[in-house]
Every structure is written in C-alpha cells, then in structure tokens.
Amino acid sequence: MIKPTLRNYKRPVYITDYPTGPNCESGHLVDKNSGWRTFRPTINLDLCKGCLRCYLLCPDGVIFKSNSKVDVDYDFCKGCGICAHECKFKAITMTKEDKE
Amino acid sequence: MKSENRIRLNAQNISDNEYFFGHKACAGCAGSLAVRLALKVLGERTFTALPAGCMSAVGFIYPQMAFAINAMISTFPGTASLLSGMKAGLKKLGKEDVNIVGFAGDGGTADIGIQALSGAIDRRDRVIYICYDNEAYMNTGIQKSGLTPFGTKTTTTPAGKNIRGCLTHKKNMFEIVAAHDIEYAATASVGYPEDFMNKVQKAAEASTTSYIHVLAPCPTGWGTPTETAVEIAKDAVDCGLWFLAEYEEGEFKLNRVPKEFSSVKNYLFQQSRFKHLTEDDIIEIERFRDKKWDRMKSKWLNEK
C-alpha cells in the first residue's frame, strides 16, 4: 500500500544544515497529528457493518480497511468526528481524550 | 470517451492507497477530503500542482511532504500554466500515460488564476483542473473571493448595521469554463462523494482539458462544527444553493434535480457566517436560487 510514512529525521541545528532546494522525497512525514485530538473515535465492531462510509469520508485518510471492517490510525487522527457523525449504524463514538 | 466500460467507483472499489496523508489541514477540512478522494481515483502515476492556498500550506510544511506522488507549488495565478508546463515537460520525457492535475481554491480559480485557466483550456492541454470551493480565501484568514455567496460574513465583507456581509452572488465559474467549449466540465460536492469520484474518473479520460468544481465546506471559515462538513456539503445541494451538473460534448446536463428543495434557512443558520441574515436577505437568496434553477432547467434539461 502506498502512503506517506514517518521517517527518521535529523533536525537542522545550524543555518548551514538547511538545504538550498527541495530535498525530501514524496510522502516524507516527520510529525504525527495525534496531539491535535481532543476527542477520540472508537469503533464498535459489533455494530459496524463494514459499509466503509467512514473510510470514504475521513479527510485525513486515517480510517483503513481491516478484516472486512475498519480501524483507525490514531497517530494521524485529528478527532474531527466526521466518521462518527456520518456512521449510519452509530458504530463510532467520540470520547474525550484523557489529559496526561 | 470510454463511457461504456467504465466501472462506477465507490468506497468498496477505490484504491486503498493514500496519496494525501499526514497533512496539517484543520480537523474536518472538506478541501483535504476532495484532494484525497481525487488522488485515490487518479492513482500513482499522477503529477500535481497546487498554488498558494490551503492545500499547499497544509501539504508542504518543511520537512514534511504529505503527498505520496510528485507534487509542487505553483505561483498563485499560475496553476493552470504550470500544469501546461508539466504536460510539456512530461511529453518531452516520453511520459504520456500519466495524469496531470491541479488543485486550486476558489480564489485561486475564479479571481487570481482565471486567466491562466482560460489559457490552458484554450490550448487544449490534457490536464485536469480541480477547484475546491470553500467560498472565501480561507488560508489567509477568510477574505471574500469571487465565489463567496451573497450575505456571507468574511473579514473583508463584515456584517454590520449598514451592510450585511457579501453584496454579490457567486461568480458563475462552471458556465464561464464551459463557455470555452471545454471537453469536460462538472460541478460536484463532497456531500455526494461517489458522484465526485466518478466525475474525476471521467475527467481523467478526457483527451484535452477538463475542469471539476467541487464544493468543499471549511469548518473554520464557515463557523460550523468539525464533524458536519460532509453533511453541510450535501445540504447545500439539497436546498438548491449548489448544483450537480456536467458539460460534455457541448451539452449541459443536470445530474440531480431535487423535486423539492430542503430549507435554505436551515442550511444557512447552521453556519455562523450567515447568522446575521434577516428574513429579507433569505428571501433574496431564495429568489436568486429560483431564478438560477429556472434558467438551468429550461436550458439544460432535455425533456424527451
């Protein structure tokens, strides 16, 4: 499966460490987006019918097919709640993230 | 066009690959959903250009590159001319079996980039131009664009005692593009994602320029909860303030004609950018809608 992935990346320290032109390849990610999330989607697989509507409508593409149903990549989910709002079977619930 | 053997795309049969992932768009951004779905349809052998705007601001944050395909930022007015240049360059390299697609916002399309778009269509370059329309310059802080609808509160069309938001109606971008006698043009909405994906597939099969105008609500600029972008995009079509249409082989076609429009008031008052509107303003919006639909129905519907 093709998808941008997290890479090991050495942060520049001095101005001379920065490249003078484009130097990253396509799909070069160094940060997760999970810190944005205040509400967390949880999928109830008993209620899920595998219609894939949440997978289709996720703006971040973090819902992926898994065993004929779906699962969430929590590293990149921003917790917008479109999946829960659009689920016709109410199989996704949004719960407040616990503060650490 | 290979319309006969085309498979209807849906959630079950689209590619699992994610070509726009890990980006920094606001939570619930429908523009990023439009880009994600379009790239899923177009596939790996796609080259894309994006002007200064939300999708380039969220996709290319150094050292991040949220596109899994070749992507570059164009000048603000030059999306379509860069696409033409990419087309010429790829031809020279012998790469003809590729898709070249541009994603520009409503400002980058209807105001700043309209000249370059007109030129590309005129040259009949085989490129796809997708305008994700969030109805204002969202990236720079919600300023009015040519596609901002009547009554919208933006930072440059504030709602006060004298003037209640944007004074002009949406520019008729779809028909402006169609007037070039373009091979394929369509309007879409992220509220009807299957319709949008199939239009992207059709655009990819065109042998010259194609254009898709997709309505993409912006929770930040529209003042809506993050989970409602898709619902609101569907509402916009159902209440008649947006429409799903195609222009193909010189003919307009309405894809969806609601028997009865849903409530315009309900659509508008879900969004804080319209909260200040009076009953008279809503009557004006409905009058404009009805006039537009009468014209579209009388000219575009072929009663056979």
pLDDT for the residue numbered B168: 95
CB contacts under 8 A, A 17-36 vs B, are 23-31, 33, 36
Residue range B199-230, pLDDT digits in tens: 999 999 999 999 999 999 999 999 999 999 99
Residue range B100-141, pLDDT digits in tens: 999 999 999 999 999 999 999 999 999 999 999 999 999 999
Low-confidence residues of chain A: pLDDT under 50: none
Average pLDDT, chain B: 95
Q: Which residues of B touch A (CB under 8 A)?
A: 10-12, 14, 16-25, 27-30, 32-33, 36-37, 44, 62-71, 190, 193, 219, 225-231
pLDDT for the residue numbered A98: 83
Which percentage of chain B shows pLDDT scores above 90? 95
* CB nearest A26 (choices: B16, B71, B230): B71
pLDDT for the residue numbered A64: 97
Residue range B276-301, pLDDT digits in tens: 999 999 999 999 999 999 999 999 98
> Residue B2: is its pLDDT beyond 60?
no
DSSP string spanning chain B?
---TTPPPP-TTTS-S--SB-S--PPTT-HHHHHHHHHHHHH-SSEEEEE-SSHHHHHH--TT-B-BSSEEEE--STTHHHHHHHHHHHHHHTT--S-EEEEEEEHIIIIITTHHHHHHHHHHT-S-EEEEEE-SSBTTTT-B--TTPPTT---SSS-B-SS-BS--SPPP-HHHHHHTTT-SEEEEEETTSHHHHHHHHHHHHH-SS-EEEEEE---HHHHT--GGGHHHHHHHHHHTTSS--EEEETTEEEES---SS---HHHHHHTSGGGTT--HHHHHHHHHHHHHHHHHHHHHH----
Residues of B in contact with A53 (CB under 8 A): 11
> Residue B242: is its pLDDT beyond 80?
yes
Contact A85 B227 (CB under 8 A): yes
> Residue B1: is its pLDDT beyond 60?
no
- Cα–Cα distances in angstroms (integers) from residue B210 to residues B19, B106, B127, B158, B202, in the given order: 21, 16, 6, 35, 9
Contact B44 A2 (CB under 8 A): yes
pLDDT for the residue numbered B82: 98
**Tokens 């150094």, residue?**
B62
Chain B residue with the nearest C-alpha to that of A37: B27
Contact A61 B69 (CB under 8 A): no
pLDDT for the residue numbered A23: 79
Task: Identify the CATH assignment for A5-96 out of 3.40.1790.10, 3.40.50.2020, 3.40.50.150, 3.30.70.20.
Answer: 3.30.70.20
> Residue B62: is its pLDDT beyond 90?
no
Q: Give the pLDDT mean for B92-99.
A: 95
Contact B19 A82 (CB under 8 A): no
Task: Kindly report the number of other CB atoms within 10 A of residue B48's CB atom.
Answer: 27
**Residue A51 touches chain B, beta carbons under 8 Å:** yes
> Residue B188: is its pLDDT beyond 80?
yes
Give the per-residue SS3 of chain A.
Answer: CCCCEECCCCCCCCHHHCCCCCCCCCCEECCCCHHHCCEEEEECCCCCCCCCHHHHHCCCCCEEEECCEEEECCCCCCCCCHHHHHCCCCCEEEEECCCC
Confidence of residue B303 (pLDDT cuts 50, 70, 90): low
> Residue B304: is its pLDDT beyond 70?
no
pLDDT for the residue numbered B6: 82
Chain center to CA of B257: 19
Residues of B in contact with A35 (CB under 8 A): none
Domains with residue ranges and CATH for chain B: 30-300 (3.40.50.970)
pLDDT for the residue numbered B141: 94
What amino acid is encoded at B249 in this protein? E
pLDDT for the residue numbered B4: 64
Nearest to A52 by CA among B201, B31, B232, B10: B10
